Chains A and B, each alone.
Chain A
Amino acid sequence: MGLRELEDRLRQLPGNLPRAPEQPLRRWAQTHHEGGLSVAFINVVDKVLDTGRACSTWGLQFGLACCAIEMMAVGASRYDLDRFGVFFRGSPRQADAMLVAGTLTLKMADVLRRLYDQMPEPRYVIAVGNCAISGGRFYHHAYSVVRGVDRVVPVDIYVPGCPPRPESFIDAIRKLHQLMRRESIADTIGHGERQHEDFFRKRELP
Chain B
Amino acid sequence: MSEGQEQQIASVSSPEPLSAELQEIAGDLTTGGCVRAGRPELLTTPENLLPLLNRLHELPEPYSRLTDLCGVDWGDRVQVVYALCRGYGAEMVLVKVDLPRAQAEVPTVTGLWQLAFWPEREVAEMFGVTFVGHPNCEHLLLPEGFVGYPLLKDYEYDRSNPLLSPDPLREDPDAVLGGPPSEDETGAS
Question: Using a CB–CB distance below 8 Å, which chain A residues touch chain B?
Answer: 2-4, 6-7, 10-11, 106-107, 109-110, 134, 139, 141-148, 151-152, 205-206
Contact = CB atoms under 8 A, between A and B. Distances in A.
B176 A151 contact: no
With most chain B CB atoms within 10 A of its CB, the pick from A107, A110, A143 is A143
Contacts of B141: 107
Given A3-B143, A6-B163, 10 more contacts: A106-B142, A106-B164, A109-B163, A110-B143, A139-B166, A143-B148, A146-B163, A147-B163, A147-B166, A147-B167
Contact of B145 (A3, A142, A146, A151): A3
B163 A206 contact: no
Nearest to A109: B163
A134 B169 CA distance: 11
B162 A7 contact: yes
Nearest to A152: B163
Contacts, number: 57
Interface string B137-167: 0000111111010100001011001111111
Contact of A151 (B148, B155, B163): B163
Nearest to B176: A206
Contacts of A7: 161-163
A23 B72 CA distance: 59
B180 interface: no
Contacts of A11: 162
Given A10-B162, A151-B162, A106 B150 contact: no
Interface of B: 141-146, 148, 150, 155, 157-158, 161-170, 175-176
B56 to A, nearest CB: 35
Contacts of B162: 7, 10-11, 151
Contacts of A144: 142, 150
Contacts of B155: 143
Nearest to A108: B143
12 contacts: A10-B163, A11-B162, A106-B143, A110-B143, A139-B166, A139-B170, A143-B155, A143-B157, A143-B164, A145-B164, A205-B176, A206-B169
Contact of A4 (B142, B145, B167): B145
Provide the main secondary structure of the chain B interface.
loop
A3 B143 CA distance: 8
A142 B143 CA distance: 14
B175 to A, nearest CB: 8
B182 to A, nearest CB: 19
Contact of A106 (B146, B148, B168, B176): B146
A2 B145 contact: yes
Contacts of A152: 163
A205 B172 CA distance: 13
Contacts of A205: 169, 176
B164 A146 contact: yes
Nearest to B165: A147
A141 B151 CA distance: 12
A142 B163 contact: no
Contacts of A4: 145
A79 B158 CA distance: 41
A99 B141 CA distance: 24
B151 to A, nearest CB: 9
A146 B143 CA distance: 13
Contacts of B145: 2-4
Contacts of B165: 147
Contacts of A147: 163-167
Contact of B163 (A2, A106, A139, A141): A106
A165 to B, nearest CB: 24
Contacts of B168: 206
